[in-house]
Amino acid sequence: MPPILPGETDIYAITDSRLSLGRPLEEVVSALLGAGVRLLQYREKKFKAGAMLEECRLIRRLTREAGACFIVNDRPDLALLAEADGVHVGQEDLPVAAVRSLLGPDKIIGLSTHAPEEALAAQAAGADYLGVGPIFATQTKEDVVAPVGLTYLDWVCRNIQRPFVAIGGIKRHNIAEVARHGARCCCLVSELVGAGDIAAQVDEVRRAMRAGMA
């Protein structure tokens, strides 16, 4: 089955052990997948490489069983070793061309963008999808850039042909507004992995997003 891209599904979930209420990764990922999330990124900035590989292999097994797409943040080496569907990189990580030479033509490469010139460059470089944001202020990343707001999202909707995911500070209370501005796939971190009942939260987030698209 071909990997799932943003635009082919509505929710892009990112893991974060710091925000998961002490629950093991398998429990959190299983809850997300059980709730119908089909695009999931593994992101842990401070774990040792061996531990990260072990967790990536766990997620690969779970996502494969669920028919979901598995993306690794920043690390093409881990994506290869864990047989992930692809990797997501930032502006200061390895360039798309270098990642493509490592992963080959069949893996997904996503690239974070924060401004029109970065979006155009990502599209020209052959990124399979773009991260668009941070739309709102977020504390889930230590090296986060300033919020770009909804104006940049509007520009992407008008000018970029690649699939994209809106990211950054998106919550249940504001996702309808993001959807009204054209986002059809939204990334959430703390709102999902930090929920007491992940399945119920996914359902509520989807309801709110559909309301914004109506």
Consecutive H or E run containing 25: helix 25-34
**Which residues are within 8 A (CB) of 142 and not within 5 positions of it... i.e. 6 or more apart?**
45
Answer yes or no: 141 catalytic. yes
112 has catalytic annotation: yes
Annotated active-site residue in 20, 38, 43, 162: 43
Q: Which of 112, 162, 172, 184 is catalytic?
A: 112
Any catalytic annotation for residue 43? yes
DSSP letters for 125-151: HT-SEEEE--SS---S-TTPPPP-HHH
Compute how many other C-beta atoms are within 10 angstroms of the C-beta atom of residue 5. 21
Calculate the alpha carbon distances from 120 to 44, 125, 156, 187 in Å.
Answer: 28, 9, 9, 21
String of DSSP letters for 52-99: HHHHHHHHHHHHHHHT-EEEEES-HHHHHHHT-SEEEE-TTSS-HHHH
Beta strands in 98-200 (DSSP E): 108-113, 129-132, 164-166, 186-188
Closest by CA to 191, choosing from 75, 90, 87, 178, is 178
- Helix (H, G, I), strand (E, B), or coil: what is residue 101? helix
Identified catalytic residue from 60, 75, 100, 141: 141
Q: Which residues are catalytic?
A: 43, 112, 141
